[in-house]
Amino acid sequence: MSAFTLSDLEAIVAERAKASPSESWTAKLVAQGQPRAAKKLGEEAVETVIAALGGDRQEITAESADLLYHLLVVLKLAGIPLQDVMAELAHRTGQSGLAEKAGRPAQ
Ligand SMILES: N=c1c2ncn([C@@H]3O[C@H](COP(=O)(O)OP(=O)(O)OP(=O)(O)O)[C@@H](O)[C@H]3O)c2ncn1[C@@H]1O[C@H](COP(=O)(O)O)[C@@H](O)[C@H]1O
């Protein structure tokens, strides 16, 4: 199993967002703004749905990777740390310990 995490990818996105748009897809997307990034996210979501319906494991895996990457770009442009999303997910488990661990106070 890979030790690479979404947090690692979030840090890469933050770093590459500062690069020149001519040398980085991330920087290019960020420079084009949220409408373009959100449209790209939508496209990747549709491609993931199509792959899921096709049932090819490799395609589903590749499209899911594209989807998660583009989601992180959209979150970056929205100014929302991944940790906030994880805290929301933890909160939904109803386990206050998990929610606090993910950075959201238990309610
Ligand atoms: N995980 C990704 C990742 N997934 C997908 N993509 C890019 O997303 C782009 C869009 O994918 P598409 O299949 O839609 O390509 P396309 O049809 O040519 O794009 P358009 O015609 O829609 O413009 C491609 O250029 C992919 O390379 C990614 N680009 C970057 N990353 C990560 O971000 C890091 C930094 O990348 P740069 O910002 O390019 O340095 C990389 O090392 C990776 O870790």
Domains of the chain: 6-79 (1.10.287.1080)
Q: Is 91 in the pocket of ligand 1 (CB under 6 A)?
A: no
Instruction: Give just the sign of the alpha carbon dihedral 88, 94, 98, 103.
Output: positive
Q: Is 25 in the pocket of ligand 1 (CB under 6 A)?
A: yes
Q: Which two tokens stand for residue 36?
A: 């373009």
- Its ipTM equals 0.86
Residue 33 Cα distances to 4, 68, 82, 97, angstroms: 27, 18, 19, 36
Q: Which two tokens stand for residue 60?
A: 């589903």
pLDDT tens track of the chain, all 107 residues?
A: 789 999 999 999 999 999 999 999 999 999 999 999 999 999 999 999 999 999 999 999 999 999 999 999 999 999 999 999 999 999 999 876 666 776 666 55
The Å distance, Cα 94 to ligand 1 centre, comes to 36
